[in-house]
Amino acid sequence: MNILILGSDGYLGWPTAMRFSGGGHEVTVVDNYFRRRVSAELDVEPLFPVPNLVERARRWRELTGREIKVVIGDLTDASFTRSLFDGSAKPVFGEGAWGGPPDTVVHYAEQPSAPYSMLDHKTSSFTIFNNLMATTNLVFAVRDLSPSTHIIKLGTMGEYGTPNIAIEEGWLDIEHKGRKDRFLFPRAAGSIYHTTKIMDTDLLWFAARMWGMRVTDLMQGPVYGLETDETAMDESFRPFFNYDEIFGTVVNRFVVQAVAGHPLTVYGKGGQTRGYLNLKDTLQCVCLAAGHPVGAGELKIYNQITETFSVNELAEKIRKVGVGMGFPVEIKSIENPRKEKEEHYYDPVYTGLKDMGLKPHLLTDDVMAGMFETVIKNRGNIKAHKIFRGVKW
């Protein structure tokens, strides 16, 4: 397939590009380096430096003989977005003729942080504009220039909130006053970022319903880990590993805190329960979705997680592994800076991707020990002031 990956410089984007390229697909990656710029502005750079897309694509070609084309630009610019579908985009790396409109677009290109979206009015406004305009411009480009393209959109389990019923995979069948119908599962966002993701889903459902677009929306939980088959080839292929509260996911953050001798920051009662998955499984899920394109006018939704944990359970698992590796890990409950339920029912359904062939990599002690080893090698880069700043909402 000819695959276009939007937001390819991020934690998930570059590993996804390598996976598809290694599988023989023609891959073009797009980014505007937002995360790099903001990480520097907020002094929350990742644990180790990550080469830019051109440097990584060059190294990938040296090692594999495969070429990943790199395009730098801003998807909130409609003309730039359209250039990715009409052949007028100018790669900064990669040669050869344009392969035509993409068969599949993987859409990661959004401001990905709930805490960033809640810092202040400026960051909230940016999150709304950036995320919704990127999706809007993509939808219109596909409608006008490549209507058969399959859009794979990264959603979030955070769209659902924590309802007191089982969370079905995107849809809910309702019987009301003797009549039945099917609706998108009710959503209850906990941040401006999550609100934009809800609006993305609504926009994509509109495009499928009204324009016959083909869309798969992957409701992903927090991701952890660094290792994939491709990142093991060369250290320069490792994705961003943030340990701050702006861009760092909770498992990655807790491992760094354990190595740094910082108490694990459990918010409030620690009963907040979510679905998690290994970075390796994100790649599996996206590839499965690409290999099973939906029909025209269809919005297919999968809950992309492999197991659920409360924050307390995660903290205890990491404490156990850390102590076993010689670190005196302390767990400390702090006042919750977020407005959220700290004890709640949580029962998400996540069978769709498993039925398609997903083979989960679970959060075992060995997996966590591997993460500890990576952090230990880079412990000299840990800056204590980046770990916690108390973003409140």
Name the catalytic one among 127, 135, 196, 197. 197
Let me know: does 315 contact 251? Beta carbons within 8 Å.
no
Three-state DSSP at 360 gives coil
Q: What share of the chain is helix, strand, coil (3-state, %, to 5)?
A: 40, 20, 40
Q: Residue 215: enclosing H or E segment and its boundaries? A: strand 214-220
Question: Residue 20, CB half-sphere, CA atoms under 13 Å: how many?
Answer: 30
Let me know: does 150 contact 216? Beta carbons within 8 Å.
yes
Name the catalytic one among 123, 135, 156, 201. 156
Q: What's the one-letter identity of residue 59?
A: R
Q: Which of 158, 152, 80 is nearest to 118 (CA)?
A: 158
Q: Report which DSSP code applies to 241.
A: -
Let me know: does 367 contact 278? Beta carbons within 8 Å.
yes
Name the catalytic one among 193, 243, 276, 350. 193
Is residue 193 among the annotated active site residues? yes
Three-state DSSP at 246 gives coil
Give me the count of residues in the chain: 393
Is residue 197 among the annotated active site residues? yes
Is residue 156 among the annotated active site residues? yes
Give the active site residues: 156, 193, 197
